[in-house]
């Protein structure tokens, strides 16, 4: 088995997920965690360093797993780090992926590195499955349903409403519509009609339920237009039932193979921990990045560009025997 050495850049939910995931991964060895914060303040027993020390690890690290946020961190960090390292990220701003790709491709090709972008589950495994479904069933429609799952952005938006002490927001697919797609029925799908939003709120003392509810359900861009449920709960219930980070969803395609024959392609995920699963996908792509770099296949790569065998620690002959 090949072994590769990796570093983690950024120690939030995803960075912790990579650290945990690497414990199950025999062929990848963690060299260190690199953070913009004082490494002594990170709650970890792994070797931790300030990010300014990273360049001195250039010859010791095969791949960096970039665990910064998509909005502010990755657009800056990923192109900089790709100058000296092979990298993997989970960049999830779908509209900006082409721009992120172009920037990384230029840097990676100039510096003979591999930069794998937008791994994870969406983008990532969901993207791959949308591609498979469409390529295999060219006549048809693809539907993506997200959830049940906790949306970080919507939870933050509710927490900013006056009178809200704590809050979470779960995105729920409309189960009837999911079933209809699976049962080959026609559906009127759009993102708003296909999902509902369920909010759990702990109120500040004195705050009024009706006012808070109204402010949430009419919030433009976040809740307006969606079917939204708001539940008010106490702090103990919040602490015991709403502090995990579950997520998941389903990619479905109804495709016609001939006039009267319909096939349904389905790929689903049910995740107790969104960051730990996202990290697990990024770890598999880190292995692929290291193999591509060894073969000198430099440049930016998405999940569409990497053959599946590269994700596995097993060699191709074993894969043919065991999994084909």
Residues at the interface with ligand NDP (CB under 6 A): 10-15, 35-37, 67-70, 73, 90, 92, 120-124, 274-275, 278
Q: Minimum distance from CB of 216 to ligand NDP (Å)?
A: 23
Nearer to ligand NDP, 92 or 213 (CB): 92
Nearer to ligand NDP, 103 or 213 (CB): 103
Q: Cβ distance 4 to 28 under 8 Å?
A: yes
Nearer to ligand NDP, 90 or 113 (CB): 90
Q: Minimum distance from CB of 10 to ligand NDP (Å)?
A: 2
Nearer to ligand NDP, 36 or 196 (CB): 36
CA distance 27 to 25: 6
Cβ count near 36 (within 10 Å)? 14
Return all residues near 58 (Cβ < 8 A) that are at least 6 apart. Answer: 84, 85
At residue 35, the 3 state secondary structure works out as strand
Nearer to ligand NDP, 70 or 142 (CB): 70
Q: Minimum distance from CB of 2 to ligand NDP (Å)?
A: 25
CA geometry: angle 114, 117, 122, nearest 5 deg: 155
Q: Minimum distance from CB of 224 to ligand NDP (Å)?
A: 24
Return all residues near 245 (Cβ < 8 A) that are at least 6 apart. Answer: 13, 150, 273, 274, 275
Q: Minimum distance from CB of 210 to ligand NDP (Å)?
A: 33
At residue 233, the 3 state secondary structure works out as coil
Nearer to ligand NDP, 7 or 15 (CB): 15
DSSP one-letter code for 42: S
CA distance 129 to 148: 19
- Sort strands 149-150 and 28-35 into parallel, antiparallel or unpaired: unpaired
Nearer to ligand NDP, 35 or 86 (CB): 35
Q: Minimum distance from CB of 16 to ligand NDP (Å)?
A: 8
Q: Minimum distance from CB of 14 to ligand NDP (Å)?
A: 3
Q: Minimum distance from CB of 23 to ligand NDP (Å)?
A: 18
CA distance 119 to 301: 10
Nearer to ligand NDP, 19 or 105 (CB): 19
Q: Which residues pair with 273 in a beta bridge?
A: 245
Helices (H), the chain: 13-22, 74-81, 97-111, 125-136, 152-159, 175-182, 191-194, 209-217, 235-241, 274-294, 316-323
């Amino acid at each position: 088995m090949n072994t590769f050495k990796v570093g983690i850049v950024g120690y939030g939910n995803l960075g912790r997920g990579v650290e945990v995931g690497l414990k199950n991964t025999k062929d990848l060895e963690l060299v260190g965690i690199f953070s913009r914060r004082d490494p002594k303040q990170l709650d970890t027993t792994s070797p931790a360093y300030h990010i300014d020390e990273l360049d001195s690890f250039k010859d010791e690290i095969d791949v960096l797993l970039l665990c910064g946020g998509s909005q502010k961190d990755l657009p800056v960090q990923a192109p900089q780090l790709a100058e000296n390292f092979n990298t993997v990220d989970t960049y999830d701003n779908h509209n900006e992926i082409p721009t992120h790709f172009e920037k990384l491709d230029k840097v990676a090709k100039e510096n003979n590195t591999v930069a794998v972008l937008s791994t994870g589950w969406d983008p990532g495994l969901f993207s791959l499955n949308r591609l498979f479904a469409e390529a295999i069933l060219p006549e048809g429609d693809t539907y993506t349903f997200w959830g049940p799952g906790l949306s970080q952005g919507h939870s933050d938006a509710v927490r900013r409403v006056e009178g809200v002490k704590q809050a979470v927001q779960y995105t729920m697919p409309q189960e009837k519509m999911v079933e209809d797609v699976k049962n080959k029925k026609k559906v009127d799908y759009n993102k708003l009609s296909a999902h509902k939003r369920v909010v759990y709120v702990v109120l500040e003392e004195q705050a009024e339920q009706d006012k808070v509810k109204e402010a949430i359900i009419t919030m433009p861009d976040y809740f307006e237009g969606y079917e939204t449920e708001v539940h008010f709960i106490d702090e103990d219930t919040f602490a015991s039932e709403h502090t995990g980070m579950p997520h998941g969803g389903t990619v479905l395609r109804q495709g016609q193979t001939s006039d009267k024959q319909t096939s349904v392609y389905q790929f689903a995920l049910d995740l107790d921990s969104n960051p730990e699963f996202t990290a697990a996908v990024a770890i598999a792509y880190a292995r692929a990045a290291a193999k591509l770099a060894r073969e000198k296949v430099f440049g930016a790569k998405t999940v569409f560009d990497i053959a599946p065998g590269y994700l596995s620690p097993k060699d191709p002959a074993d894969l043919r025997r065991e999994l084909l």
